[in-house]
Amino acid sequence: MMSHQVCAALACYVVVDGGLVAPEAQLNLVETLCRHGATMIQLRDKQAEDRLLVEQARRLMPICRRFQVPLLLNDRWHLVQEAGADGVHLGADDGALASVRLRLGPGAIIGRSIDVPDEAMAGHDYFGLGPIFPTVTKLDAGPVVGLKTLAAWRSRIPGPLVAIGGIDAERAEAVIHAGADGVAVVGAVCLAADPGEACAKIRQAVERGLARRRQAQGVQQ
């Protein structure tokens, strides 16, 4: 996938966590999210057996295909092809880029979580940086990055960047203005009383942030 296509797919990136949303509820949730502005879906389930994760991804893929929204697996790159998914999001220790790319091929989306810019190795399709704000949906998250550090680090990260951690509709615009190409959200959508409305508001905030950044860049030029 081309860099500009990846940037577009990162705009409103929703992580559907099996610890927050039961498998039987995920199908309706993912369809709702795709209808309300989600641009990428990641299926994350740390506890599910490989077989069950593959089965669930296969159930979600037709929905994502219908809306042209990529579906990624979390961590388990060895299951991507079997599941028919579009790619994988890797943690820091989830596989060497060369091995994963060789297995999945040039068309797969491969993202990587980083804590600092020095971990951002060129060749990944995007990087995930966070937590930008405190979060309760990832207990092993590193130190809070904050908006000022995000802005200071952006030029040192060689590729599209999605920010994650404690982001909601009220914070998304500022995160984009600070340099992220998109926001990844978990609890702000998966735990919302109305996930579709929450997703739509986040997408709108991201679009405002992108417009604000383009305007600032135009003024500078």
List 3, 99, 101, 113, catalytic entry: 113
What gap in Å lies between CA 82 and CA 212, rounded to an integer?
41
Please give the sequence-ordered ranges of beta strands (E in DSSP) within 59-198, or none if there are none.
71-74, 87-90, 109-114, 126-129, 161-164, 182-185
Q: Could you list the mean pLDDT of each consecutive 10-residue stretch along the chain, which spans 221 residues?
A: 86 97 97 98 96 98 98 98 98 91 96 96 96 80 91 97 97 96 97 98 97 81 52
37: left (phi over 0), alpha (psi -120 to 50) or beta: left
Q: Do residues 104 and 138 make contact, with C-beta atoms less than 8 angstroms apart?
A: no
Residue whose pair of structure tokens reads 């669930």 in the numeric block = 56
Q: Is 44 a catalytic residue?
A: yes
pLDDT of residue 49: 97
Q: Is 214 a catalytic residue?
A: no
195 exposed, middle or buried (CB, 10 Å; 0-12, 13-18, 19+)?
buried
Q: Is 148 a catalytic residue?
A: no
List 76, 112, 138, 171, catalytic entry: 138
pLDDT of residue 92: 83
pLDDT of residue 140: 66
4 φ/ψ angles, rounded to the nearest 5 degrees:
-70, -30
Among 3.20.20.70, 3.30.1180.20, 3.40.720.10, 1.10.3720.10, name the CATH number for the domain at 3-220: 3.20.20.70
DSSP-assigned beta bridge partners for residue 41 = 14, 71
Domain ranges for the chain = 3-220
